[in-house]
Amino acid sequence: MYLEINNLEISFATPKGKFVAVRNVDLQVKKGEIVSIIGHSGCGKSTIMNAVAGMLTPTKGTVTINGVPVKGPGPDRGIVFQNYSLLPWLTVYQNIFQAVDAAVKNKTREEKKEIVEKYIKMVNLSAHREKLPQQISGGMKQRVAIARAFAINPDMLLMDEPFGALDALTKGDMQLELLKLWNLDNRSKTIILVTHDIEEAIFLSDRIVVMTDGPAATIREIEELHLPRPRNKKAIISMPEYKLIRERLLSLLMDKVEVDEADFYKGVPVEA
Ligand SMILES: Nc1ncnc2c1ncn2[C@@H]1O[C@H](COP(=O)(O)OP(=O)(O)OP(=O)(O)O)[C@@H](O)[C@H]1O
């Protein structure tokens, strides 16, 4: 198995004592799979991602990649976060080149330039290559971040709400862009995606991991999707499987909200 998370627990030392963010998390991911993690705010999605990225050490349990325990960040894992994390003083081109230059070994400067050119073209940013991050839109920034992640050719992409800050139309474009890059790469990159967006999770994923609420959150259920690829958004929404999965996810995620609302209304005077 490519990625294995076994009995993962992550706790934080806080002024009030030990805080268990996630526990008993077990997940196996095959190479080339796209897996989304969804759940309410604070259920430990980013914590799990950070453990896979090697930025957090498990309190208990293990995270292994190809059987080797994760000990820290590495060039085999590319990270795309919501805040783009572009260097503001570098142009679009330089932001990607700098990452490729640092991560890709055994290639000449010319070959590295070719890689950068290829990915800038793939995300349609050729016309904006000399601009600084502050001179381009949010969608374009996220495109740069994704092109950069693919250009360094990691085995796995860890995406923490990558499109969370984008408007719905740009978000739709970016989801297609992501699948396009994944397809062009022979679907060989494993993608772990944290999202709050049920439709996004269904459109992109092979499996969707639904978390329980925190603290001490764990996996509640894993939904397997059998929607055909390549996926067409308009076509899949009319498929019975899409509707079934969407309803299942909604009911898993909305349960608590309904209870909260009922509590909220208790004792609230009803106006005549
Ligand atoms: N360094 C830390 N110290 C203490 N508690 C932390 C730390 N990092 C995260 N937590 C807590 O762990 C829990 C899980 O946080 P995490 O960021 O993983 O949740 P999330 O599901 O990604 O949330 P969101 O959807 O809001 O981004 C939260 O209660 C958070 O406050």
CB atoms within 10 A of CB 115: 19
Write down the domain spans for the chain. Answer: 34-55+70-265
- Select from 4, 80, 28, 31 the least CA-distant residue to 187: 31
CB atoms within 10 A of CB 51: 25
3-state secondary structure (DSSP) of residue 149? helix
* CA of 247 relative to ligand 1 center, distance in Å: 27
Residue nearest to atom 1 of ligand 1 (CA): 12
* CA of 138 relative to ligand 1 center, distance in Å: 25
Ranking 95-104, 162-171, 238-247 by mean pLDDT, the lowest is 162-171
CB contact at 8 A, 95 and 161: no
pLDDT at 150: 87
Instruction: Pick the more confident residue, 81 or 52.
Output: 52
CB atoms within 10 A of CB 12: 13
Q: What angle, 0 to 180 degrees and rounded to 10, lies between the N-to-C axes of helices 168-184 and 138-151?
A: 20
270 has pLDDT over 90: no
CB contact at 8 A, 220 and 48: no
End-to-end alpha carbon distance in the chain: 62
User: DSSP alpha helices (H): ranges in the chain?
Assistant: 45-53, 92-103, 109-122, 138-151, 168-184, 198-204, 233-236, 240-265
| C-beta 23 within 6 A of ligand 1 | no
109 has pLDDT over 50: yes
- Select from 205, 119, 196 the least CA-distant residue to 154: 119
CB contact at 8 A, 81 and 50: no
| C-beta 91 within 6 A of ligand 1 | no
- Complex confidence, ipTM: 0.98
* CA of 174 relative to ligand 1 center, distance in Å: 26
Instruction: Pick the more confident residue, 230 or 258.
Output: 230
Report d(CA 92, CA 101) in Å as an integer.
Answer: 14
Percent of the chain with pLDDT over 70: 93
Report CA 124 to chain centroid distance, whole Å: 22
Ranking 98-102, 155-159, 232-236, 263-267 by mean pLDDT, the lowest is 263-267
Instruction: Return the structure tokens found at 250.
Output: 């909604």
When pLDDT is averaged across residues 85-107 and rounded to a whole number, the result is 93
Q: Which residue has the tokens 């050119």?
A: 117
Which residues touch 159 (CB under 8 Å, ≥6 apart)?
Answer: 79, 80, 81, 191, 192, 193, 194
Kindly give the number of the ligand 1 atom that is closest to the alpha carbon of 39.
21
Report d(CA 59, CA 25) in Å as an integer.
Answer: 12
Architecture of domain 34-55+70-265: 3-Layer(aba) Sandwich (3.40)
| C-beta 21 within 6 A of ligand 1 | yes
Ranking 1-10, 90-99, 102-111, 167-176 by mean pLDDT, the lowest is 167-176
pLDDT at 167: 84
pLDDT at 84: 63
What strand order describes the sheet that includes 77-81?
77-81, 156-160, 190-194, 34-38, 207-211, 219-224
User: pLDDT tens across 31-50, in order?
Assistant: 999 999 999 999 999 999 99
Per-residue pLDDT band for 224 (boundaries 50, 70, 90) equals very high
- Select from 155, 144, 94 the least CA-distant residue to 119: 144
268 has pLDDT over 70: no
> Which range among 80-84, 233-237, 243-247 has the greatest average pLDDT?
243-247
Q: Which residue has the tokens 């995406």?
A: 159
Query: Mean of the per-residue pLDDT values for the chain?
Result: 91
What's the longest Cα–Cα distance across the chain? 77
pLDDT at 165: 80
pLDDT at 272: 47
| C-beta 13 within 6 A of ligand 1 | no
